[in-house]
Amino acid sequence: MTLKEIAAEAGVSVSTVSRVINKSGKSPAGKEVRKRILEIAQRTGYTPNAHARNLKMHSVRENGNACRSIACLFAQAADIGSELARAVLVKGMEEEARIHDYSLKYSLSSLDGFLPPAFDMMANSSVDGIAVIGGSLAGTDSTGQYLCHLSQRTPRHIIYTGFEYLDAGLDQIVCDGQRAASDAADRLILSGHRQIAYIGGRGYSVPFLGYCASLKEHGIPCRESCVKLVPISMEGGYLGAGELLKSGLSPTACLCSNDVIAIGAMRAIREFGLTVPGDISIISMDDINVGQYLDPTLTTIHLPLAEMGRMTAKILIDRIEGGHHLPMKIVLPYHMVERESCLSSDAPD
C-alpha cells in the first residue's frame, strides 16, 4: 500500500496522509480525517520507512535537533527581473526562515522556463516545502495547473510567489506586476508623453502587457518599432536603447521592465548625445538600491521584493507547521518612487 493509495481511499491529498502518518505539523488533519487515515494504514499494514522519512523531511543539527528546510525555485528567472532583484527576494526568505529555525536549503533557477525537471529534483530532496517563484507566461496558467497537479502527488508543501495571479488552489504571495507597469506608463502619459518606447524581456511578460494596456486605454497605438525585447541585463538595456535611437525613432520617454535595463538604456542615450530626462524620460520597475545613486536618480516602481520573500517563507512555514489548511492569497502593494529621470513632455502628439 502506498501513500497515494491510502490518500485515494481516504479521499484526501497525499500530503495530508504523509503529515498524519509521519506526525509532522502541529495539526496535520482533523480528528475524523486522522482516524480514517490511520485505520486504513493499520488495516493494510502500511509501515513508513523511517530512514526514508528522515532523508525526505529532516536534516539534523549536531545537537540532534531537527533542522527543517525550505527551497526556492525560480520557475522563470526573467519573471523576477534581474539577478539583483532575485537576490533581494531570496534574502527576505532566508531572514524569515531563520526566525523560525528553518534554513533555505536550495535556490535554483529553471532558466529555460521548463519547470518539471527542476521541481522534481526539489520534490525528491530533503526539503519540507518549496516556494515556486514566477513561471507563468502572462495570459496563461500553465504553472498553476502544473503545481496543482504536483501538490496532489507529493507530500512537499508548495507556495507560489510572483507578479500575476494563478487560478489555483495554492498559497500565493502576489504583487500585481501588470497593474504596476500600467501605472508606470500612465505616469508618462499623464505627463504629456505620447511617443513612449518599451525595453524589456519576454514579449508576453507581465510588464509588457501592462505597457500595452496603458497605451490602449489612452488611445495610443502600441507600435512594434517602439518595442525592444532584450536580455535582462544592463547590456540588454544598452543595446535595446541603441537600436531604438539608430532606427531614427524619437521617443520622448521609455518604460524599462526593470532597473538594470534602465541603467543600460541611460548609458546608451548619453552616448547618442541626448540627456535624461531632458530629451528622453526613463521610468522602470524594481527599485533596487543602485537606482538612487545614479545621475540622474531613477524614477521607478517599488516592487516589495524583500517583503515578498519574507511573506513567502512565513506562509510556507506556517503551512508546514499545520497553522492553516485552506489556500491563502496575500496581495502586497507597490508604489511609485519619484526621482529625477522623468519630466513632463513638451513634444507635440
pLDDT in tens, 298-335: 999 999 999 999 999 999 999 999 999 999 999 999 99
Rounded CA gap, 188 and 174, in Å? 25
pLDDT class of 31 with cuts at 50, 70, 90: confident
Segment among 19-23, 128-132, 220-224 with least mean pLDDT: 19-23
Helix (H, G, I), strand (E, B) or coil at 218: coil
Strands 299-302 and 335-337: antiparallel
Rounded CA gap, 154 and 145, in Å? 15
Rounded CA gap, 187 and 84, in Å? 25
Rounded CA gap, 342 and 349, in Å? 18
Rounded CA gap, 60 and 343, in Å? 57
Q: Are 237 and 285 in contact (CB under 8 A)?
A: no
Rounded CA gap, 257 and 229, in Å? 10
DSSP string of 185-218, one letter each residue = HHHHHTTT---EEEEESSTT-HHHHHHHHHHHHT
Residue 13 or 174, more confident: 174
Q: Is a pLDDT exceeding 80 seen at residue 1?
A: no
Q: All domains of the chain, ordered by start, with CATH?
A: 3-57 (1.10.260.40), 69-176+305-335 (3.40.50.2300), 177-302 (3.40.50.2300)
In our burial notation (b when 16+ CB lie closer than 10 A, e otherwise), range 283-309 reads: bbbbbbeebeebebebbbbbbbbbbbb
pLDDT class of 91 with cuts at 50, 70, 90: very high
Q: Are 101 and 321 in contact (CB under 8 A)?
A: no
Highest mean pLDDT among 63-77, 128-142, 234-248: 234-248
Segment among 104-118, 238-252, 268-282 with least mean pLDDT: 104-118
Q: What is the pTM of this model?
A: 0.77
